Structure 1
Amino acid sequence: MTHALQWLRSLVFVVQMYLAMAVLGIVFLPWALVSPRGARIACKTFCRWVRFTAAWMVGLRTEVRGTPPRGEVLIASKHQSFLDIILIFGSIPAGKFIMKRELMWAPVIGQYALRIGCVPVNRGKRSQAIGKMVEDVARGRQEPGQLIIYAQGTRVAPGVKKPYKIGAGVLYEELGQTCVPAATNVGVFWPRKGILRKPGLAVVEFLPEIAPGLPRGTFMRRLESEVEEASDKLMREAGFDTGER
């Protein structure tokens, strides 16, 4: 009975969340069309709304730990569900995601993503995608912001091991920017698929900066080690068995 009630509450939450996305997308559209700032404010308003409604509708509280970066940096994060997108973007001034090209055609999300400076890439052709990613990012550096890449290239469920893609290392090397790793446990409560949202405390944690200039291989090993270790710690804190003792 308790599980069924939580699922029903989750369904109501998910429905109202997407309705809110549509309403905000329409309301802010005139401003978003003439100014990226309008698009960013629309997206941040949506992030605040999701966090607020998640807390009282399904008992899912959220927290951002560490120091959210303010300058022009590369953020390389763990990705477990839509919620870590919301927490990261809502906590930084001008986030821009490396996103899969298919999302360009998603209603509301695609249009607003392009307006805030997100960089669509074709992941089907790896070498071409990386080159295009670097080129597009370099062209967009006139407008400062925090470039966010999901280092494993996709959502990864808690407890699943997946290698880190070279794209994060290429961007770190080519852009010459400081990298801020980010860990999370959001997938414990908000899975990558399905309706059920579990009560608890979902966390995104910004980790200590990695200064520019490291060899690509050294950077990738350090990034994976620090993000995975911190994410496992957050998941254990949330009651998830990571298999480590």
Structure 2
Amino acid sequence: MSARSTSPVPGRLGPWQYLQNAIYYLHVGVATLLIGLCGLPFVAVRGRQAANTVATRWIGYMLWAARLHLGVTCEVRGTPPTDDCIVAAKHQCFLDILVIAHALPRRAFIMKREVMRVPVMGWYAWKVGCIPIDRSRGRDALRAISTEVNGRIASAEGLGQLIIYPEGTRTRPGERRDYKHGTGTLRAATGLRVVPVAVNTGLFWPRKGWGVRPGRAVVEFLPVIEPDMPRQAFMPRLQAEIEVNSDRLMAEAGFRQDAT
């Protein structure tokens, strides 16, 4: 479906705003290196718990820097889960990754293997329990992830909050993509409840991360979908919950969309 949409903040960014964007990325790049390196000894001794502590402080610092340099503030609505579960979220940009991760005490992402090879922060991703996925393996990759997740659920440490993006990629505000079956497959294989998440972050933070606009971004944790929901009803329900509520959050921020 195509759409004609308007932004809540029309017009192009000025030179000063682009300079602010550059200053932000330089700032957080240096901070990432320093925070990551300073936390290494702590994590080496205390493992995942320490890695989560360092990650929380790093993410919080990045969100603070976004307020300072870019005028972007973030609001979390609903109740972030604290138990073992799947968090299925709308994904519009890097900002929603930060906000969702900061709201969860034991977050772990299913992410592309290449991302986990990034120096310093890729190592932290491993330590907090992120699970790499090789998309070229298709269903075999999902089976391997399901086995890994079930093993963690049965362990003394537990799984935590496993974050997955059902669309499989970032989408522009108003863009519609079919949801991939991975969330439903993982839910069926593990028996975990699913917490949908709606966002409007893409209105302020573009997909490619350049040209950020000031404003108040919202991430909303929606009511839980329990494991006893019939399998054939789950994916339509998940998609409806996320899309309808993301549209609502974007409309609150002034976004309008007209189908063509």
Q: What TM-score do you get using the length of structure 2 for normalisation?
A: 0.90
- Deviation for aligned residue 1:5: 0.9
1:69 and 2:84 are equivalent in the alignment: no
In structure 2, how many angstroms separate the alpha carbons of the residues matched to 1:56 and 1:237? 24
Q: Any gaps of 5 or more consecutive residues in structure 2? A: 1-11
1:6 and 2:6 are equivalent in the alignment: no
In structure 1, how many angstroms separate the alpha carbons of the residues matched to 2:86 and 2:237? 15
- Deviation for aligned residue 1:33: 2.2
CA RMSD of aligned residues (A): 1.5
1:36 and 2:70 are equivalent in the alignment: no
- Deviation for aligned residue 1:49: 0.8
Higher relative contact order (CA 8 A, sep 6+): 2
In structure 2, how many angstroms separate the alpha carbons of the residues matched to 1:95 and 1:80? 19
Structure-to-structure mapping, 1:32-181, within 5 angstroms:
32-34=43-45, 35-141=47-153, 142=155, 143-144=157-158, 145-181=160-196
1:43-78 CA-to-partner distances (Å, cap 9, x unmatched) read: 100111111111121111111110011111111111
Partner residue of 2:238? Answer: 223
Kindly indicate whether the alpha-carbon contact (under 8 Å) linking 1:25 and 1:108 is maintained by their aligned counterparts in 2. Answer: yes
1:22 and 2:33 are equivalent in the alignment: yes
In structure 2, how many angstroms separate the alpha carbons of the residues matched to 1:101 and 1:41? 23
Kindly indicate whether the alpha-carbon contact (under 8 Å) linking 1:99 and 1:121 is maintained by their aligned counterparts in 2. Answer: yes
SS for the counterpart of 1:54 is helix
In structure 2, how many angstroms separate the alpha carbons of the residues matched to 1:118 and 1:175? 17
Kindly indicate whether the alpha-carbon contact (under 8 Å) linking 2:93 and 2:209 is maintained by their aligned counterparts in 1. Answer: no
Q: Tell me: CA distance 1:240–1:8, structure 2 relative to 1, closer, same or farther (3 Å).
A: same
Kindly indicate whether the alpha-carbon contact (under 8 Å) linking 2:195 and 2:224 is maintained by their aligned counterparts in 1. Answer: yes
SS for the counterpart of 2:212 is coil
Kindly indicate whether the alpha-carbon contact (under 8 Å) linking 1:173 and 1:213 is maintained by their aligned counterparts in 2. Answer: no
- Deviation for aligned residue 1:194: 4.2
Q: What TM-score do you get using the length of structure 1 for normalisation?
A: 0.95
Kindly indicate whether the alpha-carbon contact (under 8 Å) linking 1:14 and 1:195 is maintained by their aligned counterparts in 2. Answer: no
In structure 2, how many angstroms separate the alpha carbons of the residues matched to 1:206 and 1:181? 6
Aligned length: 244
Kindly indicate whether the alpha-carbon contact (under 8 Å) linking 1:11 and 1:196 is maintained by their aligned counterparts in 2. Answer: no
SS for the counterpart of 2:257 is coil
Q: Any gaps of 5 or more consecutive residues in structure 1? A: none
Q: Tell me: CA distance 1:198–1:131, structure 2 relative to 1, closer, same or farther (3 Å).
A: same
Structure-to-structure mapping, 1:194-213, within 5 angstroms:
194-213=209-228
- Deviation for aligned residue 1:125: 2.3
In structure 1, how many angstroms separate the alpha carbons of the residues matched to 2:194 and 2:81? 10
In structure 2, how many angstroms separate the alpha carbons of the residues matched to 1:17 and 1:240? 29
**What is the one-letter code of the residue matched to 2:200?**
N
- Deviation for aligned residue 1:152: 0.9
Partner residue of 1:192? Answer: 207
